Structure 1
């Protein structure tokens, strides 16, 4: 997911996206531990997506505080 797509979402959607990504990361880690993970690069992608969402949430919090 691109940062521009994430920035278009509101805070409720961003928080839901964050919860979904964390859930997906948990499932991927479980698959990795049980040797069922087919694509280990998926872990890296999900972690990056979580970081993007958290960054944009923080940007929106700071911009809201300045107003």
Structure 2
């Protein structure tokens, strides 16, 4: 997901995307543990996607706190 795409999404959408990525990360961990992981690079992509969403959420929370 691109940074500009994340900025245009609502808070609820970001939360849903984060939940989906965390679920995928769990599934990838199980696949890795059972030697069934088809695309190892996906683990890194998912981890970075989670970080991007959390960064955007934290930035929004800080902005909201400074406005209040």
TM-score band, normalised by shorter chain:
over 0.9
Distance (whole Å) between structure 2 residues aligned to residue 2 and residue 37 of structure 1:
25
In angstroms, what is the RMSD of aligned CA positions?
Answer: 0.6
Taking structure 1 as the reference length, what is the TM-score of the superposition?
0.95
Instruction: Name the residue aligned to 1:52.
Output: 52
Stretches of 4+ moved more than 3 A in 1? none
| Structure 1: runs of 5 or more not aligned | none
Q: Is 50-59 or 1-10 further displaced after alignment? A: 1-10
TM-score by length of 2: 0.94
Q: Does 1:64 align with 2:46?
A: no
State the Cα distance separating 1:10 from its structure 2 match.
Answer: 1.2
Give the aligned partner of residue 22 of structure 1. Answer: 22
